[in-house]
Amino acid sequence: MSPHAGIPSLKPLASNRFDERKHVLDLDDFTPGEIQLVLDNALAMQEVMGRSVRKVPALRGKTIVTLFHEPSTRTRASFEQAGKILSADVINISDSASSAKKGESLYNTALSIQAMQADIIVVRHPHSGSTNFLARHLNSSIINAGDGYHAHPSQALLDLYTIQSHFGDIKNRKVVIVGDILYSRVARSNLWGLTKMGARVTLCAPPTLMPPDFINGFSKDHPFKSVSVTHNLSEAIKDADVVMALRLQAERQSKGRLPSLREYSRLYGINREILSLANKKVIVMHPGPMNENVEINTEIAHGPHSVIQEQVKNGVAVRMALLYAVAAANRGGK
């Protein structure tokens, strides 16, 4: 994606301070304190969601546009509900119904949305880096709702929130991320979030689905230096507190990297047998949508260790906290 000619000079991206949080593009520029603040505020938002009147006026008069260039059920609905509980006006634009169908570029679409005075634009796009590109060139706040296989920060935050709500803390918890890591933006954002919060992370995938620069582990000066990497699931899952199964991203050609789905499921699918090697109180997470009986067995997905529905519920509270943070940072900005 090349910058257009005549675009105004680059704007600084998000800074480290909560009250200057203009964009949410990934968790790499969050401090542990800022992540904790979002998690704490999500707890307060959860309380609002439990009321009989689920509405507070915090973002009254603010406009949030969700611009989705990829299919989504959970994330889009979750941002929409979060915005509406906070009293913002939410406009949804999806690929099939937008001018993108007529060949309009992402930049021009986003410019028009900004011209309609959107305060926050929530963007999902198949190209990695597209949300960073928009953040550099627009005045509105940009929240990344998933860009290619780069990042999905709100998913990572809701995963952190779910872990914290189960164990009371994140530090030193053993988290195993299993599956299609190569094409997973969820795994990448979770790597940032989990390592910043002090979790012990193990990545487990067949070598063909592990990013080439991850396969040999991380060097001592790498931000992910504490992360271990393996292709052996029964070894990885030992004593795990959290097992995070990833969706096999069939639309991103991951199928072509495997001999067969059956073999993948046999070696890397989460089933009762493999789960018995984990900590007794293990929780099983999945960002959705699931390929049941591929990366996770139906029995596990809907079993007692599964927190998958909780993740969806927590997603709304976490996204409320994110929208609140970004709106608070925008005060007097324009």
Q: What is the binding site for other proteins (CB under 8 A)?
A: 18-19, 37, 40-41, 43-45, 47-48, 51, 53, 55-59, 86, 324-325, 327-328, 330-332
Q: Which is nearer to other proteins, 176 or 317 (CB)?
A: 317
Q: Which is nearer to other proteins, 4 or 51 (CB)?
A: 51
- Name the token pair of 194: 């989990």
- Name the token pair of 162: 């779910």
Burial of residue 119 (CB within 10 Å: 0-12, 13-18, 19+) is buried
Q: Which is nearer to other proteins, 4 or 17 (CB)?
A: 17
Q: Which is nearer to other proteins, 93 or 197 (CB)?
A: 197
Closest distance of CB 105 from other proteins, Å: 32
Closest distance of CB 36 from other proteins, Å: 10
Closest distance of CB 68 from other proteins, Å: 27
Q: Which is nearer to other proteins, 55 or 272 (CB)?
A: 55
DSSP alpha helix (H) spans, the chain: 32-49, 74-85, 106-115, 130-137, 153-167, 185-196, 233-236, 261-268, 272-275, 298-301, 308-329
Closest distance of CB 141 from other proteins, Å: 14
Distance CA 37, CA 321 (A): 9
Judge if the upstream peptide bond of residue 289 is cis by omega within 30 degrees of 0. Answer: yes
Closest distance of CB 40 from other proteins, Å: 7
User: What DSSP letter does each residue of 120-170 carry, written as one string?
Assistant: EEEEEESSTTHHHHHHHH-SSEEEEEEETTTB-HHHHHHHHHHHHHHHS--
